[in-house]
Amino acid sequence: MTVLFDTSAIDASLHAFQQKFSQINHGLTRGRDEFTTELRQNIIDAYTFLNEQLKLGIRLFSPAGLHIMLELNHIVLCGCNSRVRLQYHSHVLATRARFLKNITKTRSWVLKKHQGYPPRKLAVEFYFRAISQPQLFIEGNHRTENIIMNYILVSKGANPFIISPDTAHRYLELSGDMKFTEKENPIHHVLGSGKRKKELRKLIEQCESNRYVSATNVKTRLNVSEDDL
C-alpha cells in the first residue's frame, strides 16, 4: 500500500488560504508577494509530480531523489510549461548549481538523523536547515521546502502540514524569521532559532491532518528505512 498526497484536499486548503491572503499578509511582519492562482496551481503540479515519483519508488534523499527535489523547485517556480522553463533556462542552470552545492550537508544530516529523530523533529530540522542562510534554492524556498518537509512527515508515519487561513500567520512568521537566520551561526541559535523550531513543531502537531493523504494499491510505499528516505 502506498501513501500519496491528496492533491484535491491540498488545493482546497490552499484555495481557502488564497481567499484570505490579503488580510493575512497585511498582518505579517514581513509582507509576502501575492499568492496567485498560478502559484497555487504550480504547488499542486509539484505534489502531482511527487506522487508519480513515489509510485515509481523513488525516494527524495536517494541520489536519484536529489534530481526530484530540484525538479520540485522548478515546477513551483515555472510550472510544467516547457516554454516557460526555456525562457528561464539560465535561472534553472544557476538554481541547479546552487542546489548541488548546498544540499550535501543537509542531506547527510537527514540520513544520519533519520533513524533516531521523531518525524516532526526531523521534518522541522530539515526545514530550518534548508530555509535558513544559505538557502538551498535561489527562489521558491518556502513552497518547495514545505513540500519536502511534508514528504519527510508522511514517510515517517505522520500527517502533512498544509497551510490554511487558521495557521498561515504563525507559520509564515516563523518561516520568515528562519529565512533570515544563519544556520551555522551559534549567536543566532541563542537569539531564538531553537525556540522557533520548537514552535513550528508544536504548530505542526496541532494542525497536521490525514485528509491530505490517501492510500493506493501501488506496491511501492513511502519509506520506513534510511535507504528508502
pLDDT at site 183? 79
pLDDT in tens, 92-108: 999 999 999 999 999 99
pLDDT > 90 in the chain, percent: 80
**Residue 182 has what pLDDT?**
86
C-alpha triplet 122, 43, 105: angle, nearest 5°:
35
pLDDT value, residue 221: 43
**pLDDT tens string 50-84:** 999 999 999 999 999 999 999 999 999 999 988 98
pTM over 0.85: yes
Q: What pLDDT does residue 160 have?
A: 97
User: What pLDDT, on a 0 to 100 scale, did the predictor assign at position 229?
Assistant: 66
